[in-house]
């Protein structure tokens, strides 16, 4: 598991998730099967799928009670500036996300907010001067503050 190609997010209702990402945020899907599953490209070579929690549990062969939307992880969208954190947070809220942490100085030394989408998925919107992605996609990460 040396490369992550697809991240599948369990959601309670695929159409609620579609409305947030496609209508609310204006994202273009890779493949969109309303009521079934939605695929988005969210980085170079990276597919994110929004799938019913029950169908995902069935596919994996585990108890649906162990596939709870939004748990166990957070996603992050990094920004080029603190102002962009503020703007993207406002945009997410306008699209229907709940703000968990308004933009503020982060423990890691940067500036960030946390929002939760209508499916329970939690996004951090972060300005982190210590994380830089080179033109070839190499991540350069150092501690700050």
Q: Give strand pairing partners of 11.
A: 52
Give the whole-angstrom CA distance, residue 66 versus residue 4.
22
Q: Which of 17, 56, 103, 111 binds a second copy (CB under 8 A)?
A: 56
x/- map, 115-144, a second copy, by CB under 8 A = --x--xxxxxxx----x-x--xxxx-xxx-
Q: Give strand pairing partners of 99.
A: 115
Give the whole-angstrom CA distance, residue 81 versus residue 103.
12
Q: Which of 38, 85, 88, 118 binds a second copy (CB under 8 A)?
A: 88
Residues 90 to 119 in contact with a second copy, rule: CB under 8 A: 92, 100-101, 107, 114, 117
Give the whole-angstrom CA distance, residue 111 versus residue 120.
22
Minimum Å gap between C-beta 81 and a second copy is 14
Minimum Å gap between C-beta 56 and a second copy is 7
How many CA atoms, within 13 angstroms, populate the side-chain half-sphere of residue 114? 11
Minimum Å gap between C-beta 139 and a second copy is 5
Contact (CB, 8 A) for 116 and 122: yes
Contact (CB, 8 A) for 129 and 105: no
Binding status of residue 63 toward a second copy by CB under 8 A: no
User: Which chain residues interact with a second copy by CB under 8 A?
Assistant: 1-10, 21, 25, 27, 30-31, 39, 41-48, 53, 56, 59-62, 66-78, 88, 92, 100-101, 107, 114, 117, 120-126, 131, 133, 136-139, 141-143
């Amino acid at each position: 598991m040396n490369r992550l190609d697809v991240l599948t997010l369990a959601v309670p209702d695929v159409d609620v998730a579609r409305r947030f990402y496609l209508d609310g945020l204006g994202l273009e899907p890779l493949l969109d099967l309303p009521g079934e599953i939605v695929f988005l490209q969210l980085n170079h070579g990276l597919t994110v799928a929004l799938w019913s929690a029950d169908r995902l549990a069935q596919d994996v062969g585990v108890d649906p009670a162990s596939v709870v939307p939004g748990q166990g992880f957070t996603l992050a969208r990094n920004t080029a500036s603190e102002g962009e954190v503020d703007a993207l947070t406002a945009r997410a809220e306008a699209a229907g996300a709940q703000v968990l942490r308004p933009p503020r100085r982060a423990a890691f030394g940067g500036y960030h907010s946390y929002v939760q989408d209508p499916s329970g998925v939690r996004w951090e919107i972060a300005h982190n001067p210590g994380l830089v992605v080179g033109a070839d996609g190499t991540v350069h990460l150092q501690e700050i503050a």
